[in-house]
Structure 1
Amino acid sequence: MNDSRTLADRIEDLLPQTQCTKCGYDGCRPYAEAVAAGTASYNQCPPGGAEGVARLAGLLGKPVIPINPVNGVERPRPVAFIDESLCIGCTLCMQACPVDAIVGAPKQMHTVVTALCTGCDLCVPPCPVDCIAMIPVTGNATGWDAWTQQQADAARVRHDRRLARLAGERDAAVARAAARRAAAAEATTAAAAGQAAGSAAAAQSASPPTADDAEAKKKAIIQAALERARRKKAEMAERGEGPLNTDNVSADVQSQIDAAETRRRRMGIDENAKDPGSTPPADQDDDTPT
């Protein structure tokens, strides 16, 4: 049967999956891809030790060479230990652990699940109170003698699950941010629409009066004049006075009075009513204003 796995896949299978980054890459998979591409050497994994180099050399058909000291040295496998009396619950170690082997909560004491710890050391540098120590737990056994294939496989699964979880959290954060931006944009659009509507209403209210408006204004002015004339006539009647210009009215003046009366009736203005547009009773004569 043909093996469909890539060279990077086969290299990754031979790595201890501690995800310690001592090889210079972000994890075992990126290192495997670099070795397969020829951009990294096969002797850069201290947790795998000499046996790890021999495994990779056999796969690649290359000679066995020592571990590159720049990347570290082969050593007994350590496990992280948190001094709980000093822990301040900052969660930085939890964020650094590549296999989720540290449990706790913000501002609460943290602890390491010893069976899950790969001894990667990544939790030590970010601790602000230096409460984490790496304690060797395998005696004189180093490299693959201090680490089993079953442990490597389990660590690989936990690391992959963690990467998937972090990716999901990032996607959710991006979605929330996009939703907030969309809501803000919608609110801005609604506000702009409201301002535009207000401006349109203001422009409409400030538009020149129509013919109907002018006619209504004219009627109001005439009606106000009639009201003044009625009040003046009522005051004169109380004093026993009457109009002084009703006798010997010339034909021209009478013609003007008649024309004004006609216009007043045509416009629907009643001298004896307060509301413009009303008509006088049929059996009552209109008084002509003087």
Structure 2
Amino acid sequence: MTLADRIDALLPQTQCEQCGYHGCRPYAEAIARGEAAINQCPPGGAAGIGKLAALLQQPVLPLNPEHGFEKPRTLARIVEADCIGCTKCIQACPVDAIVGAAKLMHTVIADDCTGCELCVPACPVDCIVLLPMPEVQIDMAHADAARAHFQRREARLDRLRIAREVELAARKAAVGDGSVQRNPVLEALARAKAKQQEPKP
């Protein structure tokens, strides 16, 4: 097990990005490289800082207020009557704990929610409230599950990004060698739009 692995195992896995990194693992790697301090994780709080200090044999530091303040962990809940189905919260959730579809009601899978709060500012209608997280949910098993959910989501997003890049490259190559078939309808629409934009005499 690497040092970054051992540091990551002590982090709460909220994936909230308050530390300044895209998730707990990048923060753990930055600490291991000596590029980040051990006091940048508000969800981990003083207890988390103490564990990191003991592991790394460093002095215990107070939580850096630039990254937030320690407070009780929470769970997100969507006020379903107010939800407009915009999917912005689904896109913001780092652990896929929100389900729903465009223009349909969304809901939070409470057992999977880490309390990162990233969905709250993403919601355009303020229909997400924060409730106290049950103590039984603040444990290593929940953190391990959150880590796995985050890793699966990141892997899926990477696959989608690569697929888009491959598709875009193929389209550019097709345009370059003239193999793209002409679409008379689209060409006619483009001409009509261009004509509309011409200055009138």
TM-score with structure 2 setting the length: 0.84
Percent of aligned pairs with the same residue?
58
Classify the secondary structure of the residue corresponding to 2:124.
Answer: coil
Alignment-derived partner of residue 157 in structure 1: 148
User: Aligned with 1:135: secondary structure?
Assistant: strand
Displacement after TM superposition at 1:64 (Å): 1.8
> How many residue pairs align between the two structures?
182
**Quick one: distance in 1 between partners of 2:178 and 2:21?**
45
- Output the CA distance in 2 between the equivalents of 1:190 and 1:150: 54
Residue range with higher mean Cα deviation, 68-77 or 159-168? 68-77
1:45 to 22, 41, 63: 41
Q: Using a 3 Å threshold, how does the CA distance of structure 1 residues 113 and 44 change in structure 2: closer, same or farther?
A: same
In structure 2, what residue type is equivalent to 1:22?
Q
Q: Quick check: 1:119 aligned with 2:112?
A: no
Q: Which amino acid aligns with 1:95?
A: Q
Question: Residue in 2 aligned with 1:108?
Answer: 104
Question: Does residue 34 in structure 1 map to residue 30 in structure 2?
Answer: yes
1:59 maps to 2:55: yes
Q: Does 1:10 align with 2:6?
A: yes
> What's the CA shift for 1:85?
1.4
- 1:96–1:189 distance in 2 versus 1, CA, 3 Å: closer
Taking structure 1 as the reference length, what is the TM-score of the superposition?
0.59
Residues 206-255 of structure 1 deviation map (CA, whole Å, 9 limit, x = unaligned): xxxxxxxxxxxxxxxxxxxxxxxxxxxxxxxxxxxxxxxxxxxxxxxxxx
- Preserved CA contact (<8 Å) 1:17 1:155: yes
Contact 1:14 1:56 in 2 (8 A): yes
1:87: which partner in 2? Answer: 83
Quote the RMSD (CA, aligned, Å). 2.0
1:68 maps onto 2:59 in alignment? no
In the other structure, the counterpart of 1:211 is: none
The code of the aligned residue for 1:163 comes to E
Asked if 1 retains the 8 angstrom alpha-carbon contact of 2:12 and 2:44, the reply is yes
* Larger RCO, structure (CA 8 Å, separation 6 or more): 2
Corresponding residue number in structure 2 for 1:222:
none
Q: Which runs of 5+ in 1 are unaligned?
A: 192-290
Shift of 1:183: 2.4
**Maintained 8 Å contact 1:89/1:104:** yes
